[in-house]
Amino acid sequence: MKRSKFLSLPVSLLIALIIAVSSAGVALATSYFYDFSSGLSPWTGGKDPNVIAYSVGTSRFDNGTCQSPIDSFALLTLSGRSDDVSGIWMQASFPGGIAEVSHVKVSWEAKDKGNCSLCKVLIYIGGTTPTNTSQFTSMGAAPSNWTGYSYSADLVRADPIYVALGFTDTGTTLPASLGIDCVKVDITP
């Protein structure tokens, strides 16, 4: 019996497909998760121009429902403003890849952590860093218990991709604080 020096047709097609996909640089889906047990990084703070004082950091205990070894969450606190409606946020950037269109889905939890019952929970997904909460989408009033949210957007040729989560204050007593936890960012081509 003579052995063939060639691979069978299905195996050689599979190898050709793997080589083609690898050399084309096809972007695969990426996922990022933050429970803030290791701190706030890579998230940084942002604010409306009329905000005078605010802080973005982490706090312990009474965190969201995601399972993490350390009870922590991001805590956004608005302490001073020069108008009745101003907002703050935390933001991070993510690689957009080489896809013509990137589908970005963000899931997270939020909770009123003090004087924020009239606050509006916000999200931003875009190809540039946000500069004002008028660029954000409102998800409704800040809840008194940890509540899950999800929001998706398609971005054309965005690299990097910016995601921001925060709140606007609608004239409540300051300081007003919102907790954010269990943040998951999924990016697919």
- pLDDT tens for residues 20-55? 333 334 457 899 999 999 999 999 999 999 999 999
Q: Which residue has the tokens 């709140």?
A: 167
**Average pLDDT over every residue of 153-162:** 93
> In the chain, what are the domains?
34-97+109-149+158-182 (2.60.120.260)
- Report residue 130 as tokens: 């946000």
* 173 band by pLDDT with thresholds 50, 70 and 90: confident
Residue spans of beta strands (DSSP E) within the chain: 30-34, 44-47, 51-60, 72-81, 85-94, 101-114, 120-126, 137-141, 147-156, 161-170, 176-188
For residue 154, the tally of other CB atoms under 10 A from its CB is: 11
Supply the pTM of this predicted model: 0.83
Answer with the residue of higher pLDDT: 155 or 65. Answer: 155
Q: How high is the pLDDT of residue 10?
A: 52
* 155 band by pLDDT with thresholds 50, 70 and 90: very high
Q: How high is the pLDDT of residue 63?
A: 79
Q: How high is the pLDDT of residue 2?
A: 46
How would you label 132-143 residue by residue, b for 16+ Cβ within 10 Å and e otherwise? Answer: ebeebeebebbb
